[in-house]
Amino acid sequence: MITYRTHSIHSKEITKLSEQTAAACTVKEIRGRTMNSQQPSSDGPDQDNDNIRLLSNGECFQTIGHSLKIVKNIAFLYQEYRDTSKQQEIEQRRQRENLSPGVKAGSVLPGSGVISPPVLQLQLRNSAQSLSLWQNLEAVQTSGLLTQLPHKEIIMQEAMFELVTSEASYYKSLEILELHFLRNPVLTNTLSQSDMHFLFSNIEEVMKASERFLMDLEHRIEESILISDVCDIVYYHAVEHFSVFIKYVINQVYQEKNYRRILEGNQAFREAMAALENHPRVRGLSFTSFLILPFQRITRLKLLVQNILKKAEENTEREVHAIKAHQQLEQIVKECNEGVRKMSRTEELISIEKTLEFKSKSVPIISHSRWLLKKGEVQLMAGPKSTRTMRSRKLYQPVYLFLFNNLLLVTKRSGDKFQVLDSCTRAMLRTEDLEDQGQLLANVFNLRLLENQEERLVNYMLKTSSMSDKLRWMCALTPNRRTRFMSTSAHQPDSPQVQCIQSYSSQEPDELSTEMADILNLLERTDDGWMMGERLHDGERGWFPSRIVEEIQSKEVRAQNLREAFRIQQAHESGVGQTGGRSGIRVGRRTPKVSSFSNPWTGQMGDSSEVNQ
């Protein structure tokens, strides 16, 4: 039986609150379940606001072991929350553009007939059964706050309340992962100790971090139904406790591989897992959907803080706290991504090097500063351009390209091996688009090596299988070439934007993994169903199928998206250097200057997730 005590918090306000809670409630954990050692107060949610606060005399208002109070009242799992929340964001944009049929009646902007975005957001959240609204709380409705507060403040309360309730939903899902899977004796008896570690890693540490975080969020709500702030709590926990996310996410590379290995080779485990996944408690969700929760949560938490930052008034304490919290979360997400990328990239380089055969000058492939950007087969034009060779089947011969962030290898496949024909540093590559001249000369471009491995200039005429493949190769080979549409960093007043209506997992290194409701600035598009975009909230670039997005038609909506993105960028730039520790807290990692809207293909590491969120 482990007794949890409220941790010392960074500010006087939170410290005082935590002391009150620690005096009022003793939280104990038995087999991962938290319970209160005292009976809850018999007083109900009366009109008096004193009943809504934590009392210092040892009575805890309606507390059911506060780290689980919200969890017990949450009816949905985190996976269900994410899907509903993202679908709501899409529907909100559609209704603002009048794209969806049967737009519901709602509040309108005076004299415009246009539904106000905040009103739409509340209207949609209110209609979604799995999402809770702050203004629907009985204590809020009986307090009279809804008639006293400005509409902007109600919207801010909802944004902060969503962060709290979504954290409770996340913890509820983590409980299932622990109690239903990790603590199940039938399942664990089929696994060795090393396989247990491969599958569950440090998930118990992640759970404890979430429980501490959720406790302090709940303390804040119990202090007053009018939430003062949450980003100061987010910042403290991000600095002090969220490093456990980095270890867990980096281990996911091995987690996925070993889960497949165990499934294939361990029949007892496979049968036990099938029975657990079919249990009503997991609501038809897969075991892997629970394993990926920590990374999904840390990235979503960053976006929720970003949403609060967008709504915070400038030059206020809320804005300062939101900036610090967002910067710290972005740093954690960056470290998660870099850890995952480093491990997967090193494995990929080792695998590629084993298949290469150098005929002349050998080039070292494995390097910490090198990673694969694109690989694949293209057709190389051979021989003179005569009528005779044009009719010949040998007009083209296949070559296989390996493009790294700083090197190109031109190879020829020979069984399982690749014979290296030529090489060139990426900075010395140039491409030229060629117009289609019939079927034989369709999807063709020139690749110029200004200085190849023999230190001479070489031209290759290459043919790809499709127009999109040609454009993707040209963009990857020469990342600084001008795209059809301008980048967000160009600060254009308007440019094409799309919103993702379904998630997509990248299949190639030059593709972008997207989540539902992501907003992307469009850079390129092809007639055969592909687009290249730049995600507004982190500047990550990549290709994705056009079928997964809807174009944003409204110029006003596009302008609003850009304003919000630029505000986040400016807030970060103004807040850099001001995010030191407070009240004796030593910040564990230095917050770097945020490089928004960077191009990950120019040799710089990206700032955000390529892992499914």
Tens-place pLDDT, residues 451-465:
998 889 999 999 999
**What was the pLDDT predicted at 33?**
33
Lookup result for tokens 């962030």: 405
Say if residue 283 is in the same domain as residue 340. yes
- Please state, for a pLDDT cut of 70, what percent of the chain lies above it: 72
What does the DSSP assignment read for 418-468? EEEEEEEEGGGEEEEE----SSTTSSEEEEEESS-TTSS-EEEEEE-SSHH
CATH number at residue 172: 1.20.900.10
Say if residue 509 is in the same domain as residue 418. no
Q: Choose among 266, 444, 428, 418: nearest CA to 357.
A: 418
> Who has greater pLDDT, 404 or 586?
404
**What was the pLDDT predicted at 569?**
80
pLDDT in tens, 201-221: 999 999 999 999 999 999 998
Total domains in the fold of the chain: 3
Say if residue 289 is in the same domain as residue 330. yes
**What was the pLDDT predicted at 383?**
56
**Cα three-residue angle 381-387-392, rounded to 5 degrees:** 55
Confidence of residue 442 (pLDDT cuts 50, 70, 90): confident
The answer to whether the beta carbons of residues 79 and 289 sit under 8 Å apart is: yes
Angle formed by the axes of helices 203-223 and 12-24, nearest 10°: 100
Say if residue 460 is in the same domain as residue 415. yes
Whether the per-residue pLDDT at 613 is higher than 90: the answer is no
CATH number at residue 516: 2.30.30.40
Among 51-55, 513-517, 569-573, the range with the most confident prediction by mean pLDDT is 513-517
Angle formed by the axes of helices 231-240 and 12-24, nearest 10°: 80
**What was the pLDDT predicted at 205?**
95
- 586 belongs to a structural domain: no
**What was the pLDDT predicted at 265?**
93
Say if residue 431 is in the same domain as residue 507. no
Say if residue 472 is in the same domain as residue 514. no
The answer to whether the beta carbons of residues 541 and 373 sit under 8 Å apart is: no
**What was the pLDDT predicted at 591?**
34
**What was the pLDDT predicted at 83?**
83
Alpha-carbon span 551 to 38, nearest angstrom:
55
pLDDT in tens, 25-45: 322 332 333 333 333 333 333
Whether the per-residue pLDDT at 101 is higher than 60: the answer is no
Say if residue 341 is in the same domain as residue 373. no
Whether the per-residue pLDDT at 100 is higher than 70: the answer is no
Alpha-carbon span 163 to 121, nearest angstrom:
15
Q: Which two tokens stand for residue 431?
A: 């491409």
206 Cα distance to chain centroid: 18
Average pLDDT over residues 50-78: 47
Whether the per-residue pLDDT at 590 is higher than 70: the answer is no
Residue 307's CB: how many other CB atoms inside 10 A? 20
**What was the pLDDT predicted at 611?**
41
> Who has greater pLDDT, 482 or 346?
346
> Who has greater pLDDT, 467 or 60?
467
- 7 belongs to a structural domain: no
- 562 belongs to a structural domain: yes
Say if residue 510 is in the same domain as residue 374. no
The answer to whether the beta carbons of residues 515 and 505 sit under 8 Å apart is: no
Averaged pLDDT score across all residues of the chain: 77
Confidence of residue 490 (pLDDT cuts 50, 70, 90): low
Whether the per-residue pLDDT at 313 is higher than 70: the answer is yes
**What was the pLDDT predicted at 482?**
72
pLDDT in tens, 114-160: 344 444 444 444 444 446 789 888 889 899 999 999 999 999 999 99
Whether the per-residue pLDDT at 600 is higher than 80: the answer is no
Alpha-carbon span 4 to 28, nearest angstrom:
6
- 609 belongs to a structural domain: no
Structural domain boundaries, residue 188: 133-346
Say if residue 286 is in the same domain as residue 205. yes
Confidence of residue 568 (pLDDT cuts 50, 70, 90): confident
What does the DSSP assignment read for 119-175? HHHHHHHHH-TT---GGGSHHHHHHTHHHHS-HHHHHHHHHHHHHHHHHHHHHHHHH
Domain-ending residue, one of 541, 556, 571: 571
Q: What share of the chain is helix, strand, coil (3-state, %, to 5)?
A: 50, 15, 35
Say if residue 450 is in the same domain as residue 514. no
- 119 belongs to a structural domain: no
Say if residue 497 is in the same domain as residue 465. no
Q: In what order do the strands lie in the sheet containing 372-381?
A: 356-358, 417-425, 407-414, 396-404, 372-381, 458-463, 444-449, 429-433
Q: In what order do the strands lie in the sheet containing 27-30?
A: 2-4, 27-30, 33-36
pLDDT in tens, 493-541: 678 999 999 899 999 989 999 988 899 999 999 989 999 999 998 888 9
Domain-ending residue, one of 430, 445, 480: 480
CATH number at residue 432: 2.30.29.30
Alpha-carbon span 431 to 355, nearest angstrom:
27
Whether the per-residue pLDDT at 542 is higher than 50: the answer is yes
> Who has greater pLDDT, 611 or 465?
465
The answer to whether the beta carbons of residues 410 and 460 sit under 8 Å apart is: yes
pLDDT in tens, 383-419: 544 444 455 556 789 999 999 999 999 999 999 999 9
Say if residue 202 is in the same domain as residue 329. yes
Among 87-96, 118-127, 231-240, the range with the most confident prediction by mean pLDDT is 231-240
Q: Choose among 542, 96, 155: nearest CA to 310.
A: 155
- 32 belongs to a structural domain: no
- 170 belongs to a structural domain: yes
Average pLDDT over residues 417-428: 94
Q: How many helices (H) and strands (E) does the chain have?
A: 19, 16
**What was the pLDDT predicted at 380?**
94
> Who has greater pLDDT, 486 or 174?
174
**What was the pLDDT predicted at 47?**
34
pTM of the model: 0.73
R_g of the chain computed on alpha carbons: 27
The per-residue b/e assignment along 281-301, b for 16 or more CB within 10 angstroms, e otherwise, is ebeebebebbbbbbbbbbbbb
- 283 belongs to a structural domain: yes
Q: Choose among 255, 64, 250: nearest CA to 177.
A: 255
